[in-house]
């Protein structure tokens, strides 16, 4: 938690310049322990709906900074849902009208299953745009995950993403390039995070539109960035929330598509993810799938159990540090009853001043 500059010790000023959390006694008096209310706009398809809930709630829990957090999941009505998912949403989710009525301290926007060549033609687009516009005026900070980052960049800043021609798929090494921003503090000078996407927005495009880029990868491009005010929107092009086996599950789904004849070639290995033994097991399995396709026989089951134990999670601590800092900043910037409509705005001239 933050330091309190209760006297004139010069070290406090030096630490503040370095980006450390240092409060004045006046602002420290406002930091009573209270609940935070975080919305989760979950737009993922049925098969990933509950897994996405678990990923983000688990990450929030790991990043808990001595504060009670209530998460309010909701979704968009335009997304087609199966009966089981509709029942789950009806029983456990709130509506956007309910969320808007009570207010939020912070908001998380998940990705979604894309079916159209242009984001603005997706069924979820009008509702996502409405939530984004409301959040810009009424929520202290909104954390955007992967596709949600692309959608907000397009809707709020007019930046359209570019198709890469291939999938950016793997666990890539990153470095902070703006170590003065609080959200780039408390992470290693070199760290790895998963990516899984066919599209991207470059650092140059973002910076030309006032977006502040915080961390990047030579192979995967931008990971994290923030809106021009420094905190209202926090963007992630990668997936620090992923479970250890999330990329393995994605790879397995692509192998099923190959086995079913939906794609002609087996998927490439997820980069920097499988060890040599796992690659050998997968190669053998792909050969068996190809043989089954030729012979019209039943495909063999994927030997997931032989691979899962070989996967190392090298991004969990980074994800925890990022979200912990984000939650800590939200906590310090919200001084009103979080269940009431938003009142305490961020100073646009100095959004991170406390």
Enumerate the active-site residues.
146, 239, 241
Please give the Cα distance from 63 to 327 (Å, whole number): 8
Alpha-carbon distance of 246 to 154, in angstroms, equals: 27
Distance CA(245)–CA(312), nearest Å, equals 9
Contact 87, 66 (CB under 8 A): no
> DSSP H helical segments within the chain, as ranges?
10-17, 25-28, 46-62, 83-92, 96-102, 125-138, 147-157, 203-208, 246-259, 276-295, 304-308, 316-333
**Contact by Cβ (8 Å): 259, 292:** yes
HSE at residue 118, side-chain half, CA atoms within 13 A, is 6
């Amino acid at each position: 938690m933050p330091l309190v500059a209760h006297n004139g010790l010069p070290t406090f000023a030096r630490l503040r310049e370095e980006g450390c959390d240092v409060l004045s006694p006046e602002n420290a008096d406002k930091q009573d322990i209270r609940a935070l209310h975080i919305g989760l706009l979950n737009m993922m398809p049925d098969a990933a709906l509950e897994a996405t809930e678990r990923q983000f709630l688990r990450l929030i829990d790991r990043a808990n900074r001595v504060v009670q957090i209530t998460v309010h999941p909701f979704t968009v009505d335009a997304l087609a849902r199966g009966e089981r998912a509709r029942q789950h949403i009806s029983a456990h989710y709130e509506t956007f009208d309910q969320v808007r009525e009570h207010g939020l301290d912070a908001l998380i926007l998940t990705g979604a299953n894309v079916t159209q060549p242009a984001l603005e033609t997706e069924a979820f687009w009008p509702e996502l745009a409405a939530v984004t516009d409301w959040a810009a005026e009424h929520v202290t900070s909104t954390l955007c995950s992967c596709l949600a980052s692309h959608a907000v960049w397009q809707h709020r800043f007019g930046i359209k993403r570019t198709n890469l021609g291939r999938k950016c798929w793997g666990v890539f090494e990153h470095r902070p390039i703006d170590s003065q921003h609080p959200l780039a503090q408390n992470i290693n000078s070199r760290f790895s995070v998963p990516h899984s996407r066919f599209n991207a927005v470059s650092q140059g495009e973002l910076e030309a539109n006032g977006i502040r880029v915080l961390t990047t990868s030579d192979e995967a491009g931008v990971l994290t960035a923030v809106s021009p005010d420094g905190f209202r929107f926090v963007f992630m092009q990668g997936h620090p929330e992923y479970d250890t086996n999330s990329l393995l599950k994605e790879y397995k789904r692509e192998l099923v598509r190959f086995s079913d004849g939906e794609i002609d070639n087996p998927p490439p290995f997820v980069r920097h993810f499988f060890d040599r033994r796992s690659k050998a097991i997968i190669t053998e399995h792909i050969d068996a799938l190809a043989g089954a396709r030729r012979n019209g026989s039943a495909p063999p089951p994927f030997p997931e159990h032989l691979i899962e134990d070989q996967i190392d999670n090298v991004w969990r601590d980074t994800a925890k540090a990022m979200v912990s800092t984000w939650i800590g900043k939200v906590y310090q910037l919200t001084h009103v009853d979080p269940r009431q409509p938003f009142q305490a705005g961020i100073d646009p001239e100095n959004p991170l001043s406390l």
